Amino acid sequence: MNAAFRTTAEDPLSAARTGLLETPHGVVETPAFMPVGSQGSVKGLTHDQVEGLGAQILLVNSYHLFLRPGVEDVAAMGGLHAFISWPKPILTDSGGFQIYSLSPLVRVQEDGVQFASHLDGTKYFLRPEDVVDLQVRLGTDILMCLDHFPPYPYSDETLRESVRLTTAWARRARARFAEYDTGQQLWGICQGGVHRDLRTRSIEDLLAEDFAGYAYGGLGLGEPKTQLFETLDLGNGLLPSDRPRYLMGMGYVEDIVEAVARGVDLFDCVLPTRNARNGTLFTGRGRVAIKNRKYARDERPLDEDCSCYTCRRFTRAYLRHLFERGEITAAVLNTIHNLHFYLDIFRKIRHSIQSNSFNLLKKSLISNASQKEEAT
Amino acid sequence: MNAAFRTTAEDPLSAARTGLLETPHGVVETPAFMPVGSQGSVKGLTHDQVEGLGAQILLVNSYHLFLRPGVEDVAAMGGLHAFISWPKPILTDSGGFQIYSLSPLVRVQEDGVQFASHLDGTKYFLRPEDVVDLQVRLGTDILMCLDHFPPYPYSDETLRESVRLTTAWARRARARFAEYDTGQQLWGICQGGVHRDLRTRSIEDLLAEDFAGYAYGGLGLGEPKTQLFETLDLGNGLLPSDRPRYLMGMGYVEDIVEAVARGVDLFDCVLPTRNARNGTLFTGRGRVAIKNRKYARDERPLDEDCSCYTCRRFTRAYLRHLFERGEITAAVLNTIHNLHFYLDIFRKIRHSIQSNSFNLLKKSLISNASQKEEAT
């Protein structure tokens, strides 16, 4: 399909690799973390701040844009990059996840999915072709196929039907996308939960379509971690090494490093940004619930080892005060820190793979992440 | 008392002047606009952004800090500058305005004011001496005396009593402040509404106490503009030219320039920041209600003549989208613009006074401000 991805280093002890992912709006160093800009902004931050933190690619939710302001308005402004004034790569999801999780009324049919807007109840019907069309019109760099997944726990039968539908829709999306010549990339999403045979079938079905990249869907829904990792091992054995792999929506650091060790290149999650707004802050020594009264006179930075603006300039006492007062700036400063924390981990992951020390970093990150609350 | 203020240029056609106001945390060029950082942050912005916009001094509300986190916590952190990590000058108000306007239960007595917290109903009693003590402990650069003012409209009798109490409290505040030797400045607040005799008496009473600066309180409450300006003319004739003058809480550009023409040096107002959060944006061609549907595909910057980050990078369509979605970043970008708009006007005012063109600028600003909605 295209040679937009190439591996630049491989870890000798695992399937971890670094790579360069080329897109019409620039190159992304992988493994990469995509901050979530649901509606076209990373909540609380300016694009300058997001870029300054080192983000190389943004995820924007098709579902939200589709409802408001609508694809027509975005297209009229010259596409999503121009509309939001973000010059770097953008990946849009298919909208499927939001449809299944946010819409109050979902009806999955062979031809596509009917759903009601969670905002005003307006009914929509989207076929896999529509989902390609709308992302092409948005002009984003990486487009995702419309997939289907059942809620966890699921029966084998439900899962089988979900895989069948996902494959059928992926073929139709692939065929529609072939009608365009835009330089964009369409990626397939495999399903099958943690069921070996079904996940295998889903991946093989997608491979036949030769997508530019492959995403794992339907994981991180509550299945045991061992089964999750086995599924990634399975995928690692099946997916071609010259295509990027994306684990959708999973954001715990301990899961991210296990996934990187299994050859995953791309991640997104609302965890750092949403937790920031809720006052849960990540540090190298565990999590800090910044509202805690014990920080009222704490002169230390949030994380003494962190080089972000928030940690360089402000005390825990001030961050607690702003959060407790409900100040907007609390969301801003907390988001700067949490996003820096994540993007910095990805810088370290890439560096460790290139310097043959990924295994060491992985152990250290998993050990840190196991401290649910900061050790004092 | 001290020679912390000196005039650097005088407009030949009005009482407008530029000056330098020295404080322990740096020099402020006047006429100056103080962004309001009610709780220790300008809502939505980082200090870096506020400084980058050119703010030279911040106003923080004693009342809010007094209630939460409390003066003890702030003092324990080394004072307000250290607590909020703001290195430049800070002016704190006395808390009086918030007490009279926010507290559900206010009882003014000869000795001081009893009030209930608007947060949890806790009752407090503050004497003029307490208000000095707490601002000294906050360590701010400019402290304000506790004053009293009645709601508008007022009877002569109410106003007379308010002036008497304000003078009595100012004397006690002045006496208490004389016990300290901190390098801070205590400013007096004159009252008397738009009543010539009472305003005159109030000013003369304060002058006897020799404050480092003088503020006009109890204006902008609904009185006719002509009477407001007459009151500033009156004050201009009475106040010594070697002391800075501060018009509290008034933020309409057309009023600001009239006040500057009458010798006022310092201003604060929530107007630019609060309006930003409410989606009312200032431009050189009038106000823009950014939520308006007509901006949905508007590729223009908010203000083509503006050099702020928001106007350099984003379209009206994007600003409308973010505001309509309730995105936090809408508050951030809008606040950057509106605050830039205000601070830029003050830069222009200072420059015009120094280059003998204030009168021209004043006319132009008043003409612009009279356009309530942007001319299209």
Dump strand ranges (E) for B76-128. Answer: 90-92, 106-108, 113-116, 123-126
Tell me the ipTM for this assembly.
0.97
Overall size of chain B counted in residues: 376
Whole-model pTM? 0.97
Contacts for A6 with CB less than 8 Å, ≥ 6 apart = A19, A20, A242
Shortest distance between the Cα of A30 and any Cα of chain B, in A, equals: 27
A205 is catalytic: no
Sole residue written with tokens 């209600």: B289
Contact at CB, B39 and A309, closer than 8 angstroms:
no
CA dihedral A244, A46, B332, A337 (to 10 degrees): 80
Tokens of B125: 């009693």
Quote helix, strand, coil % in chain B, to nearest 5.
45, 20, 40
Nearest to A324 among B68, B76, B329 (CB): B68
Tokens of A129: 């072709």
Q: Indicate which residue of B147, B205, B268, B303 is catalytic.
A: B268
Contacts for A73 with CB less than 8 Å, ≥ 6 apart = A83, B296, B297, B317, B321
Which residue ranges of chain B lie beneath pLDDT 50? 1
Q: Which residues of A touch B324 (CB under 8 A)?
A: 68-69
Shortest distance between the Cα of A319 and any Cα of chain B, in A, equals: 9
Assess whether the previous peptide bond of B69 is cis (omega < 30° from 0): yes
Contact at CB, B328 and A44, closer than 8 angstroms:
yes
- Bridge partners of A185, per DSSP, are A142
Tokens of A26: 């620039």
Shortest distance between the Cα of B86 and any Cα of chain A, in A, equals: 9
The C-alpha atoms of residue A321 and residue B83 are separated, in whole angstroms, by 9
Identify from B325, B336, B340 which residue to disrupt to test chain A contact, counting A C-beta atoms within 10 A and taking the largest count. B325
**B184-to-B23, B41, B58, B142, B242 alpha-carbon distances in Å:** 7, 21, 15, 6, 17
For CA atoms A200, A205, A211, A215, the dihedral sign is negative
Assess whether the previous peptide bond of A224 is cis (omega < 30° from 0): no
Contacts for B263 with CB less than 8 Å, ≥ 6 apart = B15, B16, B17, B232, B235, B236, B239, B241, B245
For every one of its 376 residues, what pLDDT tens digit does chain A have, with 9 covering 90 and above? 456 999 999 999 999 999 999 999 999 999 999 999 999 999 999 999 999 999 999 999 999 999 999 999 999 999 999 999 999 999 999 999 999 988 889 999 999 999 999 999 999 999 999 999 999 999 999 999 999 999 889 999 999 999 999 999 999 999 999 999 999 999 999 999 999 999 999 999 999 999 999 999 999 999 999 999 999 999 999 999 999 999 999 999 999 999 999 999 999 999 999 999 999 999 999 999 999 999 999 999 999 999 999 999 999 999 999 999 999 999 999 999 999 999 999 999 999 999 999 999 999 999 988 877 776 5
With CA atoms as reference, report the closest residue to A132 among A85, A203, A97, A182.
Answer: A182
